[in-house]
Amino acid sequence: MNTAIVGPVGPPVKRRYDASKRRQAAARTRQAILNAALELFALQGYAATPMTAIAQRAGVALDTVYASAGRKPELARLLIETAISGSTQAIPAEERDYVQAIRAAEDAEVKIAIYASAMRGIAGRLAPVLSIIQQAAPAEPELAELWRQIADRRAANMHRFAADLALVAPLRLDPADAADIIWATNAPELYQLLVGQRGWSPERYEHFLADTWRRLLLVG
């Protein structure tokens, strides 16, 4: 009878933990939840949409919705933040690619062109979210406070942008006034009016912003 020869048994081979795949899966789940929430909020309203319906539309468990996005007001904040960042998660302003490109540019008109281009994408993503927030805010104090916080944060960022412009070119007016003008003209409400209601193309909106800022803010 043949006897098999068994060699020394080594330690069990450990599988390498692939964190990147786990992050990608989490991002896909979060995006599915965000898409479902945006669709249902637009279809039947924020208040009338239960979290269970969002979970069902996204194809995940209700606990997964809470773990990925939080309660409904937190989900609304995430919709706003991801519309601004163009990602599946909030990204601080200083870490966004277009902000870094603006700060690296040495010419004021280039800075303006970069920001106008960025706003074209941001406003387009924010417009449908803004409609939902505006409709729900009167009966939802948390949403009204959320939008006020976003508006205040935008205003602070505009002061930084105006100050950055003033470093490389003389401005027609005080940087604080310049910041207020930029804040008002890049509001998603204006995108809604021009693109959503008046039929402008996003490209025309971008060119309008850049031309307006050059004419109003820069000397010469």
CB 89, CB 35: distance < 8 Å: no
pLDDT at 117 over 90: yes
3-state DSSP assignment of residue 171: strand
Q: pLDDT tens across 55-66, in order?
A: 999 999 999 999
Looking at the structure, do residues 45 and 117 belong to the same domain, yes or no? Answer: no
54 in any annotated domain:
yes
185 in any annotated domain:
yes
3-state DSSP assignment of residue 50: coil
Q: pLDDT tens across 1-30, in order?
A: 455 445 555 566 555 656 778 888 888 898
The DSSP string of 51-118 is HHHHHHHHTS-HHHHHHHH-SHHHHHHHHHHHHHHTSSS---GGGSHHHHHHHH--SHHHHHHHHHHH
Q: What is the CATH number of the domain that holds 66?
A: 1.10.10.60
The C-alpha atoms of residue 34 and residue 55 are separated, in whole angstroms, by: 10
Looking at the structure, do residues 65 and 92 belong to the same domain, yes or no? Answer: no
Q: What is the mean pLDDT of the chain?
A: 88
Boundary residue ending a domain (41, 70, 99): 70
Looking at the structure, do residues 109 and 157 belong to the same domain, yes or no? Answer: yes
Q: pLDDT tens across 135-175, in order?
A: 888 888 888 888 888 889 899 999 999 999 999 999 999 99
Question: Which pLDDT does position 131 carry in this prediction?
Answer: 83
How many domains does the chain fold into?
2
Looking at the structure, do residues 93 and 184 belong to the same domain, yes or no? Answer: yes
Question: Which pLDDT does position 23 carry in this prediction?
Answer: 81
pTM above 0.85, yes or no: no
203 in any annotated domain:
yes
**Residue 193, number of CB atoms within 10 A of its CB:** 13
Residue 29 structural domain: 20-70
Question: Which pLDDT does position 12 carry in this prediction?
Answer: 60
Looking at the structure, do residues 200 and 94 belong to the same domain, yes or no? Answer: yes
7 in any annotated domain:
no
Looking at the structure, do residues 61 and 147 belong to the same domain, yes or no? Answer: no
Looking at the structure, do residues 66 and 91 belong to the same domain, yes or no? Answer: no
pLDDT at 72 over 50: yes
The C-alpha atoms of residue 216 and residue 122 are separated, in whole angstroms, by: 22
Tokens of 213: 């800022």
The C-alpha atoms of residue 91 and residue 81 are separated, in whole angstroms, by: 8
Looking at the structure, do residues 139 and 205 belong to the same domain, yes or no? Answer: yes
Looking at the structure, do residues 156 and 206 belong to the same domain, yes or no? Answer: yes
